[in-house]
Structure 1
Amino acid sequence: MSSYEARFKVWRGDVRGGGLEDFAVEVNDGEVVLDIIHRLQATQAPDLAVRWNCKAGKCGSCSAEINGRPRLLCMTRMSVFERDETITVTPLRAFPVIRDLVTDVGFNYAKARQVPAFVPPEGVGPGEYRMMQEDVDRSQEFRKCIECFLCQDTCHVVRDHEENKQAFAGPRFLMRVAELDMHPLDAAEESGLDRKRAAQDEHGLGYCNITKCCTEVCPEGIRITDNALIPLKERAVDRKYDPLVWLGNRIRRRT
């Protein structure tokens, strides 16, 4: 097994401030960036804080920015970098730093609680739900989300404009709204909940300008923009501005 010495710059600090610290560390064949961070903890920086859990790309815990790009530390192989390249590891920029590479992602859990859950259809009990396979396949893609929040971090609406966080749920949770809105058994409208209107008025769908940056960083390969956000925008616009839809809604309400 061959090895070499790599140059790393790792952000160290806390809510009060910090900066990049230089390290030279051994790298072995087949290792990922998280392996190197663990080696730094073991040999040079025992107090370096990093969040991780599964080391298999399924828990979403080890999100960080590597050379400025949001990535999972455990899924970024050292082989993708040149051996003489200096690798910079910094915390997610869109969220407040707690310490070193650990950020406070509580914003995302607050947004998750604002999305109303699936509404079961009346008169259909547990185990009695029936759906067409194509409807199952359509929403199954979105359920691959591992809550790494890389899409939230890279979305410039959140990343570059702190003032937008109050009104904007971000791509991960707009995707959740889209999933529920396209679910054939969701009885939200029957219960008085208009998910399309809520997406626009409460979750900030209009802030999204479909740059596809969220799709580009998704480690699960979910086509967030093409399959969730754009169709949701189209349905929301139809509901709000299409005169035939408006007339049909008025007639149904009058009936």
Structure 2
Amino acid sequence: MSYQAHFKVWRGDADGGGLRDFTVEVNEGEVVLDIIHRLQATQTPDLAVRWNCKAGKCGSCSAEINGRPRLLCMTRMSVFEQSETITVTPMRAFPVVRDLVTDVSFNYAKAREIPAFVPPADLKPGEYRMSQEDVGRSQEFRKCIECFLCQDTCHVVRDFEENKPAFAGPRFLMRIAELDMHPLDAADETGLDRKRAAQEEHGLGYCNITKCCTEVCPEGIKITDNALIPLKERAVDRKYDPLVWLGNKIKRRGQ
């Protein structure tokens, strides 16, 4: 069963643009990316859109549908009324390259700022041992497909461009939380304090835990509850808990 749907798709580049109206055929079982491809094939062959796997695993086709950050390939047409006008726009938090394609290099720059896992000096590869509970906690965060929808919806960077230099965003604060929770990460032994870095270098304090990042995550990662809130608690303990503060002083003096 097919029907004609009304779409508004943003067309333009870094210099500006606007929404263009299209009426396009929709077939049963299709997703928004199918419709974008049909528009390319039948009406606007120069429409730019980034995509790859079409299976919700590469994170390439991130955009905004009716104002909500989504993956084009995982948004079924059946969730909309047939009479509804569907608006597709590029991610608002990042500069437009052309049409639905945005420049997400901000995210790769932030990724490079985060020091990698530090293996224990006394263990060789193959000797690492972790409890299943620790493995499960880390595995949740590793489901991230780098779609950057959480970065796009986070109002700290979405609405305030000036915050970007000081704020890593939920995706990379989650990465810091993963490393800080890792029982084998020996960053502290090298003088790297991940909790302090999260607060002072990556803008953890900017996050006010509205959970908007969790709401748009296509992998269902509980970014706020399982990563950002625990990281905030750890950072606060390190800085303000008098017993932790005293313990750190004694430890430094012993070194």
Match of 1:51?
50
Task: Tell me how far apart the structure 2 counterparts of residues 123 and 240 of structure 1 sit (CA, whole Å).
Answer: 29
Instruction: State the Cα distance separating 1:123 from its structure 2 match.
Output: 1.8
Match of 2:214?
215
What letter corresponds to residue 78 of structure 1 in structure 2? M
Task: Tell me how far apart the structure 1 counterparts of residues 102 and 17 of structure 2 sit (CA, whole Å).
Answer: 13
- 2:166 aligns to what SS in structure 1? coil
Match of 1:146?
145
Match of 1:163?
162
Task: Tell me how far apart the structure 2 counterparts of residues 250 and 113 of structure 1 sit (CA, whole Å).
Answer: 31
> Is 2:63 aligned against 1:72?
no
Task: Tell me how far apart the structure 2 counterparts of residues 15 and 28 of structure 1 sit (CA, whole Å).
Answer: 33
What letter corresponds to residue 60 of structure 1 in structure 2? G
Alpha-carbon deviations, 1:81-111, whole Å to 9, x = none? Answer: 0000000000000000000000000000000
Alignment TM-score, normalising by the size of structure 2: 0.99
Alpha-carbon deviations, 1:103-155, whole Å to 9, x = none? Answer: 00000000000000000001211111100111001111000000000000000
How many pairs does the alignment contain? 254
The CA RMSD measured in Å over matched residues stands at: 0.4
Task: Tell me how far apart the structure 1 counterparts of residues 158 and 192 of structure 2 sit (CA, whole Å).
Answer: 30
Structure 2: which 5+ runs fail to align? none
Task: Tell me how far apart the structure 2 counterparts of residues 181 and 251 of structure 1 sit (CA, whole Å).
Answer: 21
Match of 2:34?
35
> Following TM superposition, where does structure 1 have runs of at least 4 consecutive aligned residues deviating by more than 6 angstroms?
none
- 2:142 aligns to what SS in structure 1? helix
Task: Tell me how far apart the structure 2 counterparts of residues 190 and 244 of structure 1 sit (CA, whole Å).
Answer: 20
Task: Tell me how far apart the structure 1 counterparts of residues 46 and 231 of structure 2 sit (CA, whole Å).
Answer: 45
- 1:71 aligns to what SS in structure 2? strand
Structure 1: which 5+ runs fail to align? none
Greater mean alpha carbon deviation, residues 120-129 or residues 41-50: 120-129
Alignment TM-score, normalising by the size of structure 1: 0.99
- 1:165 aligns to what SS in structure 2? helix
- 2:243 aligns to what SS in structure 1? helix
Match of 1:13?
12
- 1:144 aligns to what SS in structure 2? coil
Match of 1:87?
86
- 1:148 aligns to what SS in structure 2? coil
